[in-house]
Amino acid sequence: MTLTGNMLIGQHATPGTREAVRAINPATNAALEPAYHGGTTEHVAQACALAWSAFDSYRETSLAARAELLDTIASEIEALGDELIERAVAETGLAHARIQGERGRTCQQLRTFARTVRAGEWLDVRVDPAQPDRQPLPRADLRQRQVPLGPVAVFGASNFPLAFSVAGGDTASALAAGCPVIVKAHGAHPGTSELVGRAVARAVKHCDLPEGVFSLLYGSGREVGIALVTDPRIKAVGFTGSQSGGIALCQAAQARPEPIPVYAEMSAVNPVYLFAGALKTRGEALAQGFVTSLTLGAGQFCTNPGLVIAVQGAALERFISLASEHLKERPAQTMLTPGIFNAYETGVGTLAEHAQRLASGLAAQGPNQCQAQLFTTRAQDFLANPRLQAEIFGAASLVVQCANDDEVRQVTEHLEGQLTATLHLDDSDIEHARALLPTLERKAGRLLVNSWPTGVEVCDAMVHGGPFPATSDSRSTSVGTAAILRFLRPVCYQDFPDSLLPDALKHSNPLALRRLLDGLREA
């Protein structure tokens, strides 16, 4: 399949007219063909008009039809075969195995949302039947279901070119909810975006859905991105990226005459607590596991363990020494873009000024390579210096040495919102961990025991979210089936005749949904 450099406005391949951008192979710094010209505000308006015109019919498609779209997108992505893998590898510097795994995860994610849509639980049907004889006043017949918000703008993430990009989690959950999607492609992987975008457009056509269900735009965030977020036909936004980008989109969305929600996943350092018992009995395994998690994918995971917190002593010193030895053997790895590499170098430079360097990985052998880094600081210095808890996107981590449990508590209380917090503990550590839990529940979206935060399962119980700045809205998740809830809102139907009710709410329950009927969940 030949890449064209075109955007997709519905089913129409549309060339942009702004300045051309070519993807850069970060492993060589070579520019890749073809050129991708950015879209304009006019292109945004066209895509939004199509999405709006598709909304009312798409949102009332049957559960089976919507699930079929998601399944078909997965099949179309698989049918792209090696071309997709090769292009994604060239555009990101990520290894073949990683991209193949990510393709599998992306398709599984789409199919998991298809299953969720079919089951219909997300409609959260609530029925409070009329009570005409209730005293002193009768009760009306009240029925509630969830309806989709409207067209959603999705910003593809640089660090998951498949699983959090054009047909990634935000797109899958919005389509599952019944929302048309307009993707603003990430400039780091435009060819991958075009291939996947065309796969989605083919699925839309195959399923005989209105073309406005999906569009793909290229161009600058400040022009195309802001025009999308401020278009009155867009009703919600999904984003993964930098804190400054996420905040800019939130501010644009809030400044609209009709403000809309922005679900931005931004920055986290994902603290890892090493309790005394665990450090004493398995320092070597902890050091190995930590360095493996830290250096996975050049550290370019939002759940990368960027902070280690422990009480000082011989066991922590041994852990630090073992982790340093492991880290020194780790080869440098190509980062996603020259910009992300430069940001990493700047972040490491700041840490080097304010903390003590413990170890560095093997030196870079090519352009844009991330040399792993481990630093340490004392709890009092960490508490006094906000720069020490800024996210460094890449394989750098900071060990905070605490004098005692009270300093561990102070450091925990001082933390910003996080995606994850990890506890490594033995039975003897349980009470120390329990004392921290109330604070950690306030700080993080996912709490782990005796594992590592990298690797986020796509399932029903997952939470990939957390208080600011981990995300802009801690009430939701961007990974897992609960992500569908971000793009829904409740509508109540009072005293509707059965013939006018949507199927989900009809008296005969034709969709066989488990309803909350008069306060009790049906079997």
Tell me which residues touch ligand NAP (CB under 6 A): 155, 157-159, 184, 186-187, 220-222, 225-226, 240-242, 245, 248-249, 265-267, 302, 340, 343, 393
Distances (CA, A) of 441 to 254, 273, 351, 413, 449: 28, 14, 28, 11, 13
Nearer to ligand NAP, 158 or 481 (CB): 158
Nearer to ligand NAP, 129 or 232 (CB): 232
Three-point CA angle 340, 344, 345, nearest 5°: 120
Three-point CA angle 304, 305, 311, nearest 5°: 175
Residues 265 and 243 sit within 8 Å (Cβ to Cβ)? no
Nearer to ligand NAP, 91 or 265 (CB): 265
Distances (CA, A) of 71 to 199, 211, 244: 12, 17, 35
Q: Facing residues of 446 across strands?
A: 420
Q: How far is the CB of 244 from ligand NAP (least distance, A)?
A: 6
Q: How far is the CB of 471 from ligand NAP (least distance, A)?
A: 10
Nearer to ligand NAP, 240 or 376 (CB): 240
Residues 92 and 99 sit within 8 Å (Cβ to Cβ)? yes
Distance between CA atoms of 90 and 34, rounded to whole angstroms?
Answer: 13
- Where does 409-501 show beta strands of DSSP type E? 418-424, 444-449, 488-494
Nearer to ligand NAP, 116 or 230 (CB): 230
Contacts of 339 (CB under 8 A, 6+ apart): none
Residues 228 and 234 sit within 8 Å (Cβ to Cβ)? yes
Place of tokens 């996975």: 296
Tell me the CB-side half-sphere exposure of residue 126, using CA atoms within 13 A: 10
Q: How far is CA 18 from the centre of its chain?
A: 29
Q: How far is the CB of 143 from ligand NAP (least distance, A)?
A: 40
Nearer to ligand NAP, 68 or 265 (CB): 265
Q: How far is the CB of 195 from ligand NAP (least distance, A)?
A: 18
Nearer to ligand NAP, 249 or 291 (CB): 249
Nearer to ligand NAP, 7 or 127 (CB): 7
Q: How far is the CB of 420 from ligand NAP (least distance, A)?
A: 12
Q: Which residue is nearest to ligand NAP (CB)?
A: 221
Q: Facing residues of 82 across strands?
A: none
Q: How far is the CB of 271 from ligand NAP (least distance, A)?
A: 15
Distance between CA atoms of 415 and 429, rounded to whole angstroms?
Answer: 21
- The single residue of 48, 250, 302, 370 carrying the catalytic annotation is 302
Q: Among 259, 216, 214, 225, which residue's Cα sits nearest to residue 72?
A: 214
Q: Among 479, 117, 161, which residue's Cα sits nearest to residue 303?
A: 479
- The single residue of 91, 102, 265, 407 carrying the catalytic annotation is 265
DSSP secondary structure of 136-192:
SSPBPPEEEEEEE-S-EEEE--SS-TTTTSTTSHHHHHHHHHT--EEEE--TT-HHH
Look up 284 and say whether it is catalytic. Answer: no
Q: How far is the CB of 253 from ligand NAP (least distance, A)?
A: 11
340: tokens are 């992300």
SS3 content of the chain, % helix, strand, coil (to 5): 45, 20, 35
Distance between CA atoms of 337 and 343, rounded to whole angstroms?
Answer: 10
Nearer to ligand NAP, 154 or 399 (CB): 154
Tell me the CB-side half-sphere exposure of residue 158, using CA atoms within 13 A: 22
Distance between CA atoms of 155 and 141, rounded to whole angstroms?
Answer: 41
Look up 402 and say whether it is catalytic. Answer: no
Q: How far is the CB of 387 from ligand NAP (least distance, A)?
A: 14
Nearer to ligand NAP, 313 or 386 (CB): 386
Q: How far is the CB of 485 from ligand NAP (least distance, A)?
A: 21
Residues 183 and 78 sit within 8 Å (Cβ to Cβ)? no
Q: How far is the CB of 10 from ligand NAP (least distance, A)?
A: 21
Catalytic positions, written as ranges: 265, 302
